[in-house]
Amino acid sequence: MAAPRGRTQEGRRGSGGSEQSIGIAAPVAGQAAGFTVARKGRDLQFMNVLVLGGGGFIGSHLVDGLLRRGGYDVVAYDLYREKLEESIGHERLRYVAGDIRSDHERVERLVAESDLVIDLIAHANPSLYVSNPLDVVRLNFDENLKVVEYCVEHGRRLIQFSTCEVYGKTVAPLIGPEAVVSEEDAARYAVFSEDTSHLILGPVGKHRWIYSCAKQLLERLVHAYGLEDRLDYTIIRPFNFIGPRIDYLPSEQDGNPRVFSHFLQALKDGTRMKLVDGGGQRRAYTLIDDAIECIARIVGRPDACRREIFNIGSPDNELSIRELAARMIEIYRRRWWDGVGRLPTTETVSGDAFYGEGYDDSDRRIPDITKARTLLGWEPRFGIDEVLERSMAYWFEEPLERGLVEKPVLTGA
Ligand code: UDP
């Protein structure tokens, strides 16, 4: 495992000071569960937020977003800080370099010092689910469970990042390829709701599902602590967030990033985009800015979100991976192509050839966001073309400034 990079900034919050009772921005967990919570000598106008995984793709955007909105003292804990470039140096940010797997005492202390814990730490990359299933369950379940228990122990509110992968597959492939499923039914099967949809995973031998399963078990534990009135929590299920700083290009380092990065690489090199199993599988892409707006509302409205699970996604942005390839080529041709270089074509590869044995796929997933709309008044604003164009612009317009970002071993969900 890579050693943590970057230096830890000295905390701007002293550990001394007298114990004070809770102010307006006080820990809701303590209030909700009836615990007595005290905070040490801090500015009571500011909510102290611990973002575990604050240096990852989602985490870094969330840290930037909270600091921009104001009213928060943020501790970003992560192995890496490269993605925090915009906010490092901000007077209300403390970056703590660490690896949650070997840093238990300090993580517990950070939890105890915070009002709200947002846990994004996870392996969140399908190729890893196939190549390192044990690492996935050890981090995504074992280590995250410790964080849950620190929150229980210290009466802290927890926002736990889960995944839309908990939904698994739609029933369409279970009905069988021979069954004729109408377009309308297929679309209906693909809409997943937080509190009513069934979670359908593949067999154990398809270890891709270990990620989904670990996240699901964590959700169930969090829920069980809630049932016992011992934890104030909100669970978030992100649906394919993309935007600046997601992943890395395959040419930049070893590994297998998500499809967006593979297609970007093909655009840069004029090589072929690989469509796994033909690219008929579908995803709904959400611009990180839309996602952060929703998460910020969850952070700021604990009463509306207590013990709720939220899908966050853009249901209207659903397209097949084959269509994703075509859209990205078209946007590139229109915005950045020099008229001379080769434009990519596509080719089909099998899932096992691309990822290794044990791969299985989620055929389709569309978020039902009724709950976020109703409880938070949130609505995603960016359509699929803008989502792709903005995400691509980061790579085609800022590559020199961006430099080479080391692969995040631990990253947001
Ligand atoms: N995929 C693809 N070509 C690639 C990489 C991925 O066709 O170069 C497919 C993959 O099999 C999956 C979809 O694209 O069906 C999205 O994969 P990704 O790794 O982005 O993450 P997921 O949404 O499955 O978590």
Which residue's CA lies nearest to atom 5 of ligand 1? 259
Categorize the per-residue pLDDT at 253 as very low, low, confident or very high, splitting at 50, 70 and 90: confident
Dump pLDDT digits (tens) for 272-298. Answer: 999 999 999 999 999 999 999 999 999
Catalytic residue among 211, 233, 248, 332: 211
Tokens of 92: 């209300």
**Do 159 and 120 meet the contact criterion of CB atoms below 8 Å apart?**
no
Protein residue whose Cα sits closest to atom 21 of ligand 1: 258
Q: How far is the CA of 78 from the centre of ligand 1 (A)?
A: 26
- Reply yes or no on whether the pLDDT at 44 is more than 80: no
What atom in ligand 1 is closest to the CA of residue 275?
7
At 19, is the secondary structure helix, strand, or coil? strand
Is pLDDT at 349 greater than 70 in this prediction?
Answer: yes
Q: In whole angstroms, what is the distance from residue 234 CA to residue 161 CA?
A: 9
Going from N- to C-terminal start, the domains of the chain cover: 22-402
d(CA 39, CA 115): 8
Ligand 1 centroid to Cα of residue 24, in Å, is 44
pTM of the full structure: 0.88
Determine the straight-line distance between the first and last CA of the chain, rounded to whole angstroms. Answer: 19
CA of 169 to the centre of ligand 1 (A): 14
- Name the residue at shortest CA distance from atom 16 of ligand 1: 259
Residue 211 bears catalytic tag: yes
Which residues, 6 or more positions from 179, have their beta carbon under 8 angstroms from its beta carbon? none
Which residue has tokens 């899908």? 311
Given pLDDT bands bounded at 50, 70 and 90, which one contains residue 174? confident
List residues bridging with 360 in a β-sheet: none
CA of 299 to the centre of ligand 1 (A): 30
3-state secondary structure of 357: coil
CATH class of 22-402: alpha beta
- The pLDDT of residue 8 is above 70: no
Angle at 294 between CA 187 and CA 312, to 5 degrees: 25
**Tens digits of residue pLDDT in 15-42:** 222 222 222 223 333 333 333 333 445 6
**What band does 211 get if pLDDT is binned at 50, 70 and 90?**
very high
pLDDT for 206 beyond 90:
yes
385 pLDDT higher than 80: yes
Q: How far apart are CA 53 and CA 9, in angstroms?
A: 16
pLDDT value, residue 175: 82
